[in-house]
Amino acid sequence: MKKIITILLTAITLTACTQIQKPVKSFTQWCEEKSTLPQKTKRTVEILLKKAGTQNCENANTKLSKLNKLYLPSIKISDLKPLSSLSNLAFLNLNSNKISDVKPLANLTNLTILSLDANQISDVKPLSNLTKLTYLGLGKNKISNLEALKNLTNLTNLSLWENQISDVKPLSNLTNLTNLNLWRNQISNVKELSNLTNLAELWLNQNKISNLKGLEKLINLTELFLGENQISDVKPLSDLTNLNTLGLSKNKIIDVKPLSYLTNLTYLDLTKNPIINETCPLQEKYVCKF
């Protein structure tokens, strides 16, 4: 019995190792198999051949493998597998396509800038190893779980607008962020953002925020957008004296006096709030928009 168990465990281990060590398929291989590929994969191969400026598979592979920048926005691609061997890429733009599976990008560990806005992505786990990323664009997708992003600590710019995010706790470790866009999500608790003290620009408009506790720590903010939430108390913002732009339209704000400390403001949007006394709390009255 022990012998059988040992044999089984050995077989499982060997199978796992085989899967882990499975080599990445080269573009040459994808190209040579083009006629037998599914239409969506074939389309990606054809687009890459066009980018390479040749129909010769070997020559295309040589050219594509040397690329460090690749722009492929708005071309209706959905299958990224033919890109999986282009590990020299540092910049990749795939905005406005039909992408749902980003697993083929997991091998592109030299990427520093990756833009995937306006696709159909829900699972970002395959991006967890792309630790050189400084910019990541994932706006207008179907993302709700951010756990896979927590180790991308080199990020300075993260765009997650128009997703299905309610929990921002995984972002609390990304302390190098200077720009964070969370516009149009389902966020109510912003306390977890209090560690992000390097933030200069933060978009939180069109969420479910009523309590601003935590934001008072973000003293390096210069631009903050909180329009279309459920905010009534703006006192936590009174310490953010570096702000020059503050958006608070369409909330439940009655008293704006706490904003009088924000003397560097050049634009303050207070439109569509139930403010009792519509008097600008700042010395420069033209700054306020009621």
Query: Tens digits of per-residue pLDDT, 273-282?
Result: 999 989 999 9
* Spatial separation of the C-alpha atoms in residues 272 and 205, rounded to whole Å: 14
Handedness of CA 163, 169, 175, 178 (dihedral sign): positive
Asked whether residue 15 carries a pLDDT value surpassing 70, the answer given is no
The class (CATH top level) of 77-289 is alpha beta
Query: pLDDT per residue over 182-193, tens digit each?
Result: 999 999 999 999
- Mean pLDDT on 53-78: 98
pLDDT higher than threshold 60 for residue 7 = no
Single-letter residue type at 252: K
**pLDDT at position 24:** 86
pLDDT at 3: 52
What is the value of pTM for the model shown?
0.91
pLDDT digits (tens, 9 = 90+) for 82-117: 999 999 999 999 999 999 999 999 999 999 999 999
Pairwise CA distance, residues 185 & 106, whole Å? 26
More confident residue, 124 or 6: 124
Residue 99 CA to residue 93 CA, distance in Å, equals: 12
Mean pLDDT (whole number) for 18-24: 59
| pLDDT number for residue 19 | 43
Query: 193-196 contacts: CB < 8 A, separation 24 or more?
Result: 193/168, 193/218, 194/218, 196/171, 196/172
User: Mean pLDDT score of the chain, rounded to an integer?
Assistant: 94
287, two tokens: 């700054």
Helix (H/G/I), strand (E/B), else coil: 59: helix
Question: Residue 53 has what pLDDT?
Answer: 98
